[in-house]
Structure 1
C-alpha cells in the first residue's frame, strides 16, 4: 500500500492562496494524521482544471500508479477534478478499485468509504463546478470590459484590427481600410454576391487581402444565429 499526494495550480490561481507549497503542507499533515510515513507527491503546475486528471502530465503518471489499497490525498476537491460529473465518476471507479481518496475538506477518513463524507462529496462537487463557472464568467467579463475600453483581452484578433503592445498594455488598433472592406463585405453578401466574388471585390476596392473564408467569418459575425 502506498500513499500519494496530488497538487495542481493553474497560472491564474498561483497567487490566490492555493500555492503548491500550501497544498503540499496540507497533504503531508493529513498523511501524518493517518500514520503514513512517506508520501509520493505529484504536481501539475500551471495546468488548468478544465481537463481530467489522467489527461494532465503529472496526473496521468499518478493515475497509472494507483493500485488496490493505495491512498490518494488531495488538499481540495477542485485540485483533482474537472467538474461534478468527473468527480462522481472518478470516485466510483476508485472505490471499485479499492483506492482510498482523502480530501482536505474531510481529512479524518476517505470519502470512498464513509457514507456521510460521500454525501458531502457530492455537495462539494457541485459547488466546485459552480465556482469554476463563476471564475470563467469573471474572466470573460474582464475581457469584455477591456475590449470595450479599447484593450485586447486575448483570443482571436477581429478582422480589420491589429494588436499594439503586450500583456495588460495590449490594445486593438483599427485599420481604416480593413474596416471599410468589412462594410463592403457585409453589403455584398446581403445583396447575394458569392463568397469568392465578394472577397475579390473587397480586396480590389480597398487594397486589403481578403479570403473567402474571411468573408464567411465576417458574415457570421454580422448575422449571428
Structure 2
C-alpha cells in the first residue's frame, strides 16, 4: 500500500495568534514536495506538526496510519526531519558521528563506515570526514546537518529550507541526493524560497499568511 501523508483541517494556534491556518491535503509517496509561502505563513509550524513535535490545536495529521507524535517509536522510525540544527558532538569527527547514527539504526561497523563516507561524498564534502564540527564553515555545517539527517532510514523526510548557506553548486548536489531517495520510494517535503528547488518538485503546497497573525 502506498504511504500517504494527510492533514485534515489542521490548525495550530498559540493564544490569539494563529501559527498555522486551517490546512488540508493528502500526499502520496514517492515524491518531492515544495512547501512555499511568505515568512510567517506557517511553513515551519506545519513541518513541526508533521514531525510530531507540535500538537495541533484542531484537526489531525497522519503519516500512513500513524498519528504524528514524535515519542511513538513506529512514527519515529518512519519520519526523519531537519527543522532545527541537530545535536553535534564537538569532540567527534564527522565520520564518527555519521557512523554512530548508522550504527544506532542497525548497520554493522563496515556498513556504517561505508555509508558515512558515501553520504559525505554525495553532498560534496568527502574531504571533511576527519574534521570536527567547530572547524567547519556555515555552508559545511549545513551539509553536515543534512548528512546526519540523511544517514538514517526513513519513509518521510521533512526539511526546513535545507538550501540555507549553500551555494548553487551544492544546491544541485543536494537535489540530486533527494532525487535518489525519492527513487527509492521516499516522500520528501521541503520548505523553500529557492525557485530552482520549487521547479524541481513534483507537487507544491502554498501557505498564505493568516490575516489576523
> Structures share a fold, TM > 0.5?
no
* Higher-helix-fraction structure: 1
Task: Provide the TM-score with structure 1 as the length reference.
Answer: 0.29
Q: Which has the larger radius of gyration?
A: 1
Tell which has more relative contact order, 1 or 2 (C-alpha 8 A, sep 6+): 2
TM-score (norm 2): 0.30
